[in-house]
Amino acid sequence: MPEFRFNVLTREWVIIATERAKRPMEFAQTAPRLNLPAHDKRCPFCPGNEHMTSAEVDRIESAPGVWQTRAFKNKFPALDENLQPNASGDLLRPRIDGFGIHEVIVDSPKHNKGITDLPLPGVEKIVESYLRRYRFHAQDPRVKQIIIFKNNGVTAGSSIIHPHSQLIATPILSSQVQERIRVTQEFRAENKKCLICEMIRQEIELNQRIIYQNRHFVSFLPYAALSSFHTWIFPLEHHAHFGSIDDDIIPDLADILYHVIKAHEKLLNRPDYNFVVRTAPIGLPNEDYHWYISIIPRLTKTAGFEIGSNIYINGSLPELNALELRNVVDILKNKV
């Protein structure tokens, strides 16, 4: 049975999930993604092999009976949705039974087509799937936090090649999220406005780290980016919760995700990467957070100094990284 354990010294929760160790790793013996076939009969995520995955929970179809995106329960879940988040343990060893939801969302029926290989309507369907699953689980009174993320490539933590994303819903909040909320709340108390709205306004005005902007979203590198090409995407309109965005802006979110990740791939030769939707805990007042997406290409490894100090060393200048990415986006958009 999985469980959450709380480290009383670092104030961090850890999920102990020994079942995860049993999952098969596909990567070691497989060819690079560029040379992959559109369909692989051994792949559990390819059409025709639906019986190889755990129970399907959602799908978006491109024609009757033909799925474009498909969501199902993770076969090797880090958490168990049949448990209740009951707390126990003692002062130095707090624990909670490992309730949680762990789902997979497959990007497309094509074995070799992920977010940056699809036409924009295909990317829109991925974003729509994220929203549908997010909104569904946000109704569960046991759920406090929903994280949607993509591990792309083996160094980013992926074990299956067929492009996919994941959703994990937990009954606890990480200390990282709590700290971000505290900072946002403090800023609002002092300045009567949203810290992130202010940051976005200033970044657009300065125009030194902007990669791309469309009608509803903007992407830039953080002023103090922790690592090279670490990138943020923000909605221009203030929303704490990913699930509360207007469905009309899904095409703009698909557009910016596509162009920013595509620029990373072109400039950095298809690096492994993670992206994470960072959204407020369920029920947090709308003024206390501003959701966003982080994209982190896995170009370097975390080393001893970072582990020891939690101070990251970034070997490149965010302004230069942004300019390089912006130039690629400009070419993609046929502006030059």
Give the residue, chosen from 17, 36, 43, 101, that forms a contact with Zn ion under the rule CB under 5 A: 43
Kindly tell me which of 150 and 162 has the beta carbon lying closer to Zn ion: 162
Judged by CB under 5 A, does residue 46 bind Zn ion? yes
Give the residue, chosen from 132, 162, 209, 216, that forms a contact with Zn ion under the rule CB under 5 A: 162
Least distance in Å: CB of 46 to Zn ion? Answer: 3
- Of 22-30, 51-59, 158-166, 280-288: span binding Zn ion (CB under 5 A): 158-166
Least distance in Å: CB of 111 to Zn ion? Answer: 3
Judged by CB under 5 A, does residue 115 bind Zn ion? no
Give the residue, chosen from 111, 132, 133, 137, that forms a contact with Zn ion under the rule CB under 5 A: 111
Kindly tell me which of 143 and 200 has the beta carbon lying closer to Zn ion: 200
Judged by CB under 5 A, does residue 290 bind Zn ion? yes
Kindly tell me which of 118 and 194 has the beta carbon lying closer to Zn ion: 194
- Of 56-64, 128-136, 187-195, 215-223: span binding Zn ion (CB under 5 A): 187-195
3-state secondary structure the chain: CCEEEEECCCCEEEEECHHHHHCCCCHHHCCCHHHCCCCCCCCCCCCCCHHHCCCEEEEEEEECCEEEEEEEECCCCCCECCCCCCEEEECCEEEEECECEEEEEECCCCCCCCCCCCCHHHHHHHHHHHHHHHHHHHCCCCCCEEEEEEEECHHHCCCCCCCEEEEEEECCCCHHHHHHHHHHHHHHHHHCCCHHHHHHHHHHHHCCCEEEECCCEEEECCCCCCCCCCEEEEECCCCCCHHHCCHHHHHHHHHHHHHHHHHHHHHHCCCCEEEEEECCCCCCCHHHCCCEEEEEECCCCCCHHHHHHCCCCCCCCHHHHHHHHHHHHHHHCCCC
Binding mask 189-218 for Zn ion (x = CB under 5 A): -----x-xx---------------------
Binding site for Zn ion (CB under 5 A): 40, 43, 45-46, 111, 162, 194, 196-197, 238, 290
